[in-house]
Amino acid sequence: MSQANEYIVFLGDDIESKNTAVKTLTHDDSMKQSRLIKQSSSDNDVAAMHIFHYGKINFDNGQKVHLLRVESETQLKLLKPKWENNALGVLIFVSTDRESPEKYLEDLLLKHHDFLSTKSIAIGLVNPSPDIPIDTRKYNETVTMTGYNAAVFEIDVTNFQDMSILLQSMLMESLHGLASA
Amino acid sequence: MQQVKVSVYLEGFDSRSLDSFKSFFDEKCASNFEVSTSIESAKIIIADHDVVGATRLSHLKLKLPYTPFILLSKRDLNRNDHQVISLQKPLEFNYLKKTLESLTKHYCTKKTMIDLRPLLLEKMNKEATLDSNTTSYDPSQSQLRSPQLTCLVGGESHKSFDENNPHSVMKIVFDPDRYLMGSILKAMKRTSYEKKMLDLTNLNARIIIDPDEKKIYTFAKESVLRPICLMELRETSTVKIIKGGNKGDKFQTILREHANEITQWSWDAFLWKLSLWTSRGKIPKNIDIRKPVHISEWPNLTRLHPIPHAIAIAAMMKNSHKTMVEIAKQLKIELRFVLAFFTACHTLGLANNSKRQSDTLFEPESKSNSPEKQSLLHKLFGKVNKPQTESPQDINQGVSL
């Protein structure tokens, strides 16, 4: 198996949203196959890759951006230290119908501060009731209070445009405004 | 922060030689390099020419045109062409170390980025054009000159704009108070303070403002509202309180009687669009075009009417403190897009002139300094950046009742 060129981490405990988000971004319905877990490898890196890897965006020159799903502290630790520096950024998914979503976001940002503080991040608020708009400002306050600089958007994970804006904002944060584009 | 190691793939070496290289990287190169198990992901390839042979090397070069090679041989190959350096065995530690460092510096960063970018952008544009279910503007398309877009960001590109020329500046400013926009903003401020539902009328446009649910109700189609926003007010707006708020009989009766003509908006979505319709690529008169600007937070772009280059502008306004003219120049985009975006954000209370000295003292440090990584980011950005052919309702901006 070839190793990841670069990767984007999908963080947050809303697994279904993350799965759908990857499908939407990659137009890949075969995602389940690509995330089959093979833990028997003696190579820890390869094993970790199998655990996390569940999608990729391919480019003509053979380069790839791997999309990695992370659920637990243990998995995040496995990403360190070797791959940490290959992360393009992190997309965080928060379902707003969970209990205390702002508190969840705050806890998540603080818990993974060591990893996230050096990364470009964007936060998607998954709204199960699109008819009732989310007040993104209180989430922005949470982000600012915890010392991050990140875009926060209400998203529909099945909508390519929403996912595109989320990903673009993360990339743009990284590129500092696409100064050299 | 974790040190970034340059991965080196070793081709044509036995296990003992591999161990020697590992020791060399760890002990002589301060662990700046590491042996890669994958040739595709390696930044540098070291090959034993005497073992691998010319045919295999040609194949590898074809497969990995941007990866630098170090060829080792007992003979003097005298081959130091583009991205290929030959060294004679036995190797001098220091010389090999310097060669690796030199290759890392020149080829693992700048060269790779320059070589890959056109390929990446080409692919992105191709895929973006193929996507038909999107809602973003394609800057390369003629839609940037379309009447629909002119209604939002104006038609002037301001190519000859001179921020030090008062006549030039006058062309890009407007006074919101002279338009319906100013009247609505004042009413919204009042309703937020008094917590009462207001019914505002001027120029035959009727707008109800609900502070409890942060909703706006309009009674005319966008095609009617849009030109009204450009008309100067001749008299103050009529403002009435709707007793009982959104649960009261009066408002419920209005809803029933006008069910077919009412459009419901979120405050932000309405203000965003109202601002675009009114400003048409201009900024409020109280904003100093010569001073840097910033946004306090990203606007919720997924639920607001799209503006070309909005994401790039937002990222720059959030992360740096430049003037709008500088932002347009740096992004190589028309000034009208920056002005329109700023005014829309300003109307939402998210943007203003930078006033703190510290804002302009230091340039914030980018999180992604690696040119290689930036190249990939450009590629990814192009891949997800799609042209737009949306209607406002598609993105949940105005919901007809």
CATH number for position B39: 3.40.50.2300
Chain B interface disruption, residue of A63, A117, A156, A166, most B CBs within 10 A: A63
Q: In this complex, do A153 and B383 lie within 8 Å of one another by their Cβ atoms?
A: no
Q: pLDDT tens for residues A130-150?
A: 777 788 999 999 999 998 889
Domain membership flag for residue B103: yes
> How close B235 comes to chain A (CA, Å)?
34
B246 and B288 share one domain = no
- Out of B273, B305, B325, a domain closes at B273
Q: In this complex, do B384 and A167 lie within 8 Å of one another by their Cβ atoms?
A: yes
Domain membership flag for residue B238: yes
Domain membership flag for residue B134: no
Domain membership flag for residue B61: yes
CA dihedral B247, B250, B256, B260 (to 10 degrees): -100
* Residue B20, CB-side half-sphere exposure with 13 Å CA sphere: 9
B153 and B286 share one domain = yes
Question: Does the pTM exceed 0.80?
Answer: no
Domain membership flag for residue B171: no
- Out of B226, B249, B273, a domain closes at B273
Domain membership flag for residue B190: yes
Query: Scanning every residue of chain A, which has its alpha carbon at the shortest distance from the alpha carbon of B317?
Result: A177
B389 and B333 share one domain = yes
Token representation of residue A142: 């949470």
B14 and B103 share one domain = yes
Query: For residues B395 and A28, which has the higher predicted lDDT (pLDDT)?
Result: A28
B340 and B308 share one domain = yes
Q: In this complex, do B302 and A161 lie within 8 Å of one another by their Cβ atoms?
A: yes
B66 and B149 share one domain = no
State the pLDDT at residue A112: 85
B309 and B265 share one domain = no
Q: pLDDT tens for residues A51-74?
A: 566 677 776 667 777 777 776 666
- Out of B213, B242, B273, a domain closes at B273
State the pLDDT at residue B141: 54
State the pLDDT at residue B72: 85
Domains and their CATH numbers in chain A? 6-175 (3.40.50.300)
Cα separation, B243 vs A44, in Å, equals 68
B156 and B304 share one domain = yes
B206 and B252 share one domain = yes
Q: What is the pLDDT along chain B (401 residues), one digit of tens a residue?
A: 445 678 889 888 888 888 888 888 888 887 788 888 888 778 888 888 888 877 777 777 766 766 788 888 887 776 655 567 788 878 777 888 888 887 776 655 433 433 333 333 343 334 444 443 444 555 545 556 677 777 787 777 777 788 888 888 999 999 999 999 999 999 999 998 899 999 999 998 999 999 998 999 999 888 899 999 999 998 888 999 999 888 889 999 999 999 889 999 999 999 999 999 999 999 999 999 999 999 999 999 999 998 988 988 998 898 877 899 999 988 888 999 999 999 999 999 999 998 654 444 445 555 555 666 667 767 776 766 654 444 433 333 333 33
Taking only Cα atoms into account, the Rg of chain A, rounded to an integer number of angstroms, comes to 16
Please indicate if any CB of chain B lies within 8 Å of the CB of A111.
no
Secondary structure (H, E, C), chain B: CCCCCEEEEEECCCHHHHHHHHHHHHHHCCCCEEECCCCCCCCEEEEEHHHHCHHHHHHHHHHCCCCCEEEEECCCCCCCCCCEEEEECCCCHHHHHHHHHHHHHHHHHHHHHHHHHHHHHHHHHHHHHHCCCCECCCCCCHHHHCHHHHHHHCCCCCCCCCCCCHHHHHCCEECHHHCHHHHHHHHHHHHHHHCCEEEEEECCEEEEEECCCCEEEECCCHHHHHHHHCCCCCCCCEEEEECCHHHCHHHHHHHHHCCCCCEEEEHHHHHHHHHHHHHCCCEECCCCCCCCEEECCCCCHHHCCCCCCHHHHHHHHHHCCECHHHHHHHHCCCHHHHHHHHHHHHHCCCEEECCCHHHHHCCCCCCCCCHHHHHHHHHHHHHHCCCECCCHHHHCCEEEC
State the pLDDT at residue A108: 92
Domain membership flag for residue B400: no
> How close A7 comes to chain B (CA, Å)?
10
Please indicate if any CB of chain B lies within 8 Å of the CB of A168.
yes
B220 and B266 share one domain = yes
Please indicate if any CB of chain B lies within 8 Å of the CB of A27.
no
Q: pLDDT tens for residues A75-120?
A: 777 766 556 666 778 999 999 988 899 999 999 999 888 778 777 8
How many domains would you assign to chain B? Answer: 3
B60 and B186 share one domain = no
Helix (H, G, I), strand (E, B) or coil at A47: helix
ipTM associated with this complex: 0.86
B200 and B297 share one domain = no
Helix (H, G, I), strand (E, B) or coil at A109: helix
Domain membership flag for residue B169: no
Residue ranges making up the domain that contains B243: 176-273
Return the closest-CA partner of residue B375 out of B109, B105, B197.
B109
Touching A: B residues 219-238, CB under 8 Å: none
Helix (H, G, I), strand (E, B) or coil at A55: strand
Rounded mean pLDDT, A160-168 = 85
Neighbours of A111 (CB within 10 A): 12
